[in-house]
Amino acid sequence: MSVLRWWWGLLLAFAILALGRVFLPLPFANEIVLFSIYAMGCNFLLGRVGFISFGQPAYLAVGAYGTAFYLFYFGSNPYVGILCGIVAGIVISLAVGALFVRLRKDYFALVNLALAVIVYYLMQKVLAGITYGDNGLWFLTSIASTPVLDLSRPDQFFIFAFLVAFAIFAFYKYIDDSIFGACCLATKINEDKLTFLGYSNFSIRLVAFVIANTTTALAGAMYAVYLGFVSPEITSAARTPEPVIVTILGGVGTLYGPIVGSLVYIGMKDLISKFVGNWELIIGFGLVLIMLAGEKGIWGTIEPLLKKAFSCALRRPLPRTLGGRSDD
Amino acid sequence: MSDGNNMLMVAGLNVAYGEAKALFDVGMTVRPCEIVGCVGRNGAGKTTLLKTIAGFLKPTTGTVTFNATNLVGMAAFVVAGVGIKYVPQDKRVFSDLTVRENLELASYATNDYDWSQVTHYFPRLKGMMDRKAGFLSGGERQMVMIGQSMLGNPKLLLIDEPTEGLAPSIVAHLKDVFSELKKKAALVLVEQNLPLVCAIADRVYALCEGRIIAELMDRDSIRPEVCEPYL
């Protein structure tokens, strides 16, 4: 019973997402699933550990280029390519994380922004010999067909991305319920107190940082396979606030916030850009209004109401004929 | 070096916050299973002394020896691991976590999942395990914090102003708890509540402007009227 209780919210959320695929165009559905994975890392960092990062595109690019280098230069199996992206994400997160997580939270935000700029110029100029600069790396046609789920086909890629997203969200739900999740939240609330209990804040933050940014790198790797193309644009300055916006829009620290935030943000972007030229302006005002209306974000506002409604419905006694308890 | 019966020895301790010196050549000892009171005015350096012992502040000079282990230079979480628990003054629990999760964090760090001692001393916590700690009263938060520090059978508890702002009934309850805890661990109690200190402390150090100005070594001399001038 408790196992079912643990899974049911997750299953329901992804059942709705799967149902949405029937009505939504495939590119839009793929974009939402990929962006949800992308925003999940940012959501974990901000909601659980209290670190705001304006450098998430850097880790997205690390994953994307890790995959792109493999698929452009060495092989054609997209699964191996994604694995390369994940490994690149782990290595870079460990290397920079050991330095970054020691910083104060405001400096952390800025140093990550600086990293995004560094990665952009590395890919655009310094490593242009192997990244082809602004032209980017094209490998869509060299991606091999794979058995079971052929990632070179967008419809089958969606199924793969959907399953990966489900696994990622289940993993984060598990972390949320674990002692490590409690440690992450505790380091956000009162880091000194956690130290006095015998925990190393540095270790907790480093592990959380690596987990979050490896998730982001995974999203980058999947973007690379889906688009068959990677360019420095992926980590441009204009894109740095996107995951933070989606996280805040969805509801910081909530499990389903990244899905809701991605759905609304990408939906608004797609819909408004069809009718208005300067769509960024409209989206900007829209975001301000949404955030003013509910500072907890969309899911953060809805979730307590849903919980209350469900708990009221469950508390209502069943008729005696259905085995319900009678008060008399 | 551990000396005779002393569990903790602090010698020649000097601590500064940047250019501002907070402790001057402070020395103190704590024996197993005794309560040592620290009294003094605000700004006397009591909290600084506890934080330095707990590893949160690094002294400029001096030694802090606990069971023959020099603690100076150790990170605070390592100091906690050797059996010294610090209960800070601010009564800030992990407000977004439940009481149960707060205790679980302490349990996981110490590998001690036996909460019977905690619920024995603070039976009120039993009924509020699933309540967010942010919704607890000041007294209940203090219970959670002391409960957390009790897990893992620490050898020394450093408790900073535990009764500040609490109702008299809770203060009386905490007094009984501290007297009981003394049977298992030593306590260093920083307090301005002189009746409490005088009722339970075996020895008292009085601090003023970062220096130890008096040391009351026998129970008979530990009386409110004797301690009063040091506040």
Note the pLDDT of residue A1: 57
Nearest residue to A220 (alpha-carbon basis) of A86, A25, A43: A86
Closest by Cβ to B95, choosing from A189, A195, A200: A189
Structure tokens at B132: 């967010």
Distance CA B4, CA A228 (A): 74
Q: What's the one-letter identity of residue B41?
A: R
- pLDDT of B226 reads 77
pLDDT computed for residue A324 by the predictor: 38
B66 Rama class: left (phi>0) / alpha (psi -120 to 50) / beta: beta
Dihedral sign computed on CA atoms, order B70, B74, B76, B81: negative
pLDDT at A309: 82
> Which residue of A lies nearest to B147 if distances are taken between CA atoms?
A197
Report in angstroms the alpha-carbon separations of B53 from A142, A158, B29, B212: 63, 57, 12, 15
Q: Which residues contact B163 (CB under 8 A, 6 or more apart)?
A: B170, B171, B174, B191, B193, B196
**In sequence order, what are the residues at sequence separation of 6 or more whose Cβ sits closer than 8 angstroms to the Cβ of residue A300?**
A250, A251, A252, A253, A254, A257, A294
DSSP B10: E
Residue in B64, B47, B16, B28 with CA at minimum distance from that of residue B214: B28
Shortest CA distance from A192: residue in chain B: B56
pLDDT for residue A315: 64
Query: Scanning every residue of chain B, which has its alpha carbon at the shortest distance from the alpha carbon of A191?
Result: B94
Q: How far is A80 from chain B (nearest CA, A)?
A: 38
Tally Cβ neighbours within 10 Å of residue A326.
8
Say yes or no for a CB contact (<8 Å) between B97 and A186: yes
What is the pLDDT, as a whole number, of residue A314?
61
Cα torsion angle, B157, B161, B167, B171, sign = positive
Choose the mutation target among B86, B107, B108 for the interface with A, i.e. most A CBs under 10 Å. B108
Name the token pair of B144. 């959670």
**Of A40, A15, A20, whose CA–CA distance to A219 is shortest?**
A40
**pTM here?**
0.85
Chain A residues within an 8 Å CB radius of B57: none
Please give the backbone phi and psi of residue B186, each rounded to the nearest 5 degrees, phi first.
Answer: -85, 150
Interface contact B80-A185, CB threshold 8 A: no
Q: Is the ipTM of this complex over 0.85?
A: no
Residues in chain B within 8 Å Cβ distance of A48: none
| Buried-exposed string A109-143: b where 16+ CB fall within 10 A, e elsewhere | bebbbebbbebbebbbeeeeeebbeeebbbbeeeb
The reply to whether residue A198 touches residue B93, judged by beta carbons under 8 angstroms, is: no
Interchain CB distance below 8 Å, A190 and B92: yes
The DSSP secondary structure of B107-127, one letter per residue, reads HHHHT----HHHHHH-GGGGG
Asked if the Cβ–Cβ distance from A200 to B75 is below 8 Å, we say yes
Residue B180 has what pLDDT? 92
Pairing of strands B156-160, B20-30: unpaired
- What value, to the nearest 5°, has the Cα angle with vertex B21 and ends B187 and B210? 40
Chain A residues touching residue B156 (CB < 8 angstroms): none
**A196 with B106: Cβ contact below 8 A:** no
- Retrieve residue A89's tokens: 């994400």
Q: What is the rounded distance in angstroms from the CA atom of residue A101 to the CA atom of residue A162?
A: 31
**DSSP strand pairing (B61-66 vs B211-216):** unpaired
Q: Which CATH architecture has domain B33-49+72-230?
A: 3-Layer(aba) Sandwich (3.40)
* Nearest CB to A182; choose among B85, B87, B97: B97
Q: State residue A166's pLDDT score.
A: 95
pLDDT of residue A111: 94
At CB < 8 Å, which residues of chain A contact B?
179, 182-183, 185-186, 189-190, 192-201
Q: Which residues of chain A have pLDDT under 70?
A: 1, 294, 313-328
Edge-to-edge strands, sheet with B20-30: B20-30, B8-17, B61-66, B69-70
Question: Can you give the residue ranges of every domain in chain A?
Answer: 2-316
Burial track B185-222 (b if 16+ CB lie within 10 A, e otherwise): bbbbbbbebbebbbebbbbbbbbbebebebebeeeeeb
Cβ neighbours, 10 Å, residue A199: 23
Closest residue of chain B to A253, computed from CA coordinates = B96
Q: Where are the domains of chain B?
A: 33-49+72-230
Token pair of A226 as six digits? 């889906």
Residue B45, phi-psi category: left (phi > 0), alpha (psi -120 to 50), beta (remainder) = left
Q: Are B111 and B105 in contact (CB under 8 A)?
A: no
Contact A195 B56 (CB under 8 A): yes
The pair of three-digit structure tokens given for residue A111, joined into one six-digit string: 């140093």
* Domain boundaries A2-316, corresponding CATH code: 1.10.3470
Which element (helix H / strand E) includes B196?
A: helix B194-200
Opening angle at CA B210, ends B209 and B216, nearest 5: 95
3-class DSSP state of B202 = coil
Burial class of residue A39, CB neighbours in 10 A (0-12, 13-18, 19+): buried
Interface of B with A (CB under 8 A): 54, 56, 75-77, 80-81, 85-88, 92-97, 101, 104-106, 108-110, 148, 152
pLDDT per residue rounded down to tens, chain B (231 residues): 445 588 999 999 999 998 899 999 999 999 999 999 999 988 899 999 999 999 999 999 999 999 989 999 999 999 999 999 999 988 889 988 999 999 999 999 998 999 999 999 999 999 999 999 999 999 999 999 999 999 999 999 999 999 888 889 999 999 999 999 999 999 999 998 888 999 999 999 999 999 999 888 888 888 888 777 777
